[in-house]
A and B are shown apart, each in its own frame.
Chain A
Amino acid sequence: MSFRVLLAVLAARLAGWISRLTGRGGSSLPGLVARRIAPQVLTRLSQSLGWGTLLLTGTNGKTTTAAMLRHVVEGSGRRLISNRAGANLILGLTATLAQAERWRIFPRADLAVLETDEATMPRAGQEIRPRVVTVTNFFRDQLDRYGELSTTVQYVARGISFVQPDGVLVLNADDPQVARLASGSHEVIYYGLDAGAHVEAAGYDALDARFCPHCGSALTYDRRYYAHLGHYRCLHCGWQRPQPSVAVERWSRSEEKVWVRIRGEQYVFSWRMPGIYNLYNQAAAIASAVALDVPTATIEERLASFRPAFGRMETVMAGPTRLWLALVKNPVGFNQVLGAVADEAEGRQAVMIVINDRYADGRDVSWLWDVDFEYWVGRLKVDRWYVSGIRARDMAVRLKYAGVPKDLVVADEAVVSLLTRATREVGEGTLFVLPTYTAMLEVRQHLTQMGLVKHFREG
């Protein structure tokens, strides 16, 4: 064992201990310190994993998919390391592996499941040499960080080039930009939706990828599940959606069940999180579990006991008021969340939207204009709209132009006081709280202080 790696790991743990002591839970210090002392630390630590590493990336659904997959793998009895939501840059990945053990230097775990930011994929791939890479989808998001969508796809493609020769790619067959990532040199497990019934893509969706990645012609869709996800083919060069070996064939909201065909055989799984996009998340988790050789019986059993992760549609009771929390971060996700709100038409309802524009939220709020409020406003039975966060005023303008009467909108940048007011005014009813990433942290912190949710740390 190299002395530098030993030193790096110990220093990272010390730094982590100090930042927790000083109350800065999500510090990037441990990763920074470790890499400064031993630049090879991530490579060395990941090499010690018996089976290897799965990197999970893509625009939407990373956190939910990772949480599901973690829960499933834990049920198979294997030792697993995984990172917390948000700790998905190179420093976070390094810190996760360096802090995996208390007394030993190298992790005893068999494998690591690491949610990885798209732009971190080239570096993470090079240093870790993953056994599996799972890609969820590509939507416009975080564009002000990485430039254009095609740049993001290139990052992920580069990360994939470092997958071990006997490794596996788990790809969303229904997203043309993801399906194109098949390299030819790796086994691919495709997942997708194969439902017979036509599903109407509700509302306006900003379409991101409608063109053939091979020849640039417009793609023809025989079926579209949401945004650019569906059954596509190119009439010009003949390229088309690959046939998925993990295919969702049917689902039922009332039974909370989903029927999935895995390599020719049909299985029934529990399905708790509503929305087509959560079907994709679940299919991604199942396909990844298949890539990790988790027995189907284990997948079945573990999905039955799975509960949603941080901020992904959870409900909390605050006295008589039901708080329904869901993260919003890009137009497609926001439209999906509003669709789920529309499905909940019961009793007294109000919506609180909290928009921040810090780095982790995306500094550009232009995307609010790509959310189809014009479509949803008339379909939601909402008594009042509360808008808050650093960009509360932009949200107020967005609602105004979507036709919401001025007297139904309350704007206040201060999150906690508006949340308190909104909860009081809703009383016995539901308050849908829809924050961006850092706004969700503020909301959660407040609810924790009120003793309403379990304490959690965010990376």
Chain B
Amino acid sequence: MSDEKRFNILHLYPEHMNLYGDRGNVLALTQRARWRHIPSEVMVREIGEPIDWEAVDMVFMGGGEDTHQARIAEDFLKIGPELASRLRDGLPMLAICGAYQLLGQYYKTAEGRELPGVGFLDVWTEPGTTRAIGDVVTQTSLPIVPESLVGFENHGGRTFLGEGARPLGQVALGQGNNGQDGTEGALQDRVIGTYLHGSLLPKNPHLADLLLKWSLERRGVTDSLEPLEEEEEMAAHQTIVARSRNS
């Protein structure tokens, strides 16, 4: 791995797992890299295609409908061991909604079928009786300012955390992982699993930059990121934060 400044993001299954504007996360990351003159490339990978792991600086995977999720599950389990070993080695990943569930131990469908996950994240998902839908505001324990993360959740599953995973945040508005323990998302090594759409990163630029920083560190680039003007992003962020105060 050379220490040239580059940012290559591997986007897994963009055709199948592309619910609710999740591609906005990839747009946000690559734009924020380019604005800092860091060359950036999106590596798109669908079912059965090879992956040049050495070139990958970060992995992104979004949510999909149950039927689409079922189609990629087999292939995802196949690349699972390789992916998991690289994630344990510190490769950053952002997994949203369905991808978050698939990175866990297992998830149970509404019909009660238990489907295995990749098993990297120490989380598991049970079916819920109703869908959790609405704005979300959480307070994260990540070293970023502000501490708030905002987004929109829309999921049927209820996810629970084991010993190995920390929550990404504590819910101030919305349901979060399961509507019971007040947690949202999971954090393990440099992997973030979350239910937040919105799109998430465009209105949480501080989280986007943390992922960028982690990715560049893999290439040995340790100097801090050049700050960017983020008036618009934080205004959009505050629109949702304000809703947690009014609720």
Contact = CB atoms under 8 A, between A and B. Distances in A.
A442 interface: no
Interface in A130-158: 140, 143-144, 147-150
A341 interface: no
Contact of B66 (A148, A210, A391): A148
Interface stretch (B82-90, B184-192, B210-218, B230-238): B230-238
B236 A368 contact: no
B134 interface: yes
Given A364-B154, A369-B21, A397 B232 contact: yes
Given A147-B156, A397-B203, A401-B31, A367 B20 contact: yes
A144 to B, nearest CB: 5
A411 interface: yes
Interface in B68-83: 68, 71
A401 B198 CA distance: 14
Interface in B198-241: 198-199, 202-203, 232-233, 235-236, 238-239
B66 A393 contact: no
In this complex, the member of A390, A394, A411 whose beta carbon has the largest number of chain B beta carbons within 10 angstroms is: A394
Given A148-B66, A393-B235, A369 B134 contact: no
A457 interface: no
Contacts of A390: 239
Contact of A393 (B28, B31, B71, B239): B239
A363 B132 CA distance: 13
Contacts of B119: none
B166 interface: no
**Interface SS of A by simple majority:** helix
Interface in A43-100: none
A396 interface: yes
A211 B70 CA distance: 13
B18 A206 contact: yes
Contacts of B65: 148-150
A366 B203 CA distance: 11
B202 A211 contact: no
A144 B71 CA distance: 22
A370 interface: yes
Contacts of A393: 232, 235-236, 238-239
Nearest to B234: A393
B21 A144 contact: no
B202 A398 contact: yes
Contact of A370 (B21, B131, B156, B236): B21
Given A143-B154, A394-B236, A366 B67 contact: no
B15 interface: yes
A378 interface: no
Nearest to A364: B152
Nearest to B203: A397
Contact of B154 (A144, A210, A369, A391): A144
B158 interface: no
A401 B199 CA distance: 12
Interface string A112-142: 0000000000000000000000000000100
Interface of B: 15, 18-24, 27-28, 31, 65-68, 71, 131, 133-135, 152, 154, 156, 197-199, 202-203, 232-233, 235-236, 238-239
Interface of A: 140, 143-144, 147-150, 206-207, 210-211, 216, 363-370, 374, 390-391, 393-394, 396-398, 400-401, 406, 411
9 contacts: A211-B67, A363-B135, A366-B20, A370-B24, A394-B236, A396-B236, A397-B202, A397-B232, A397-B233
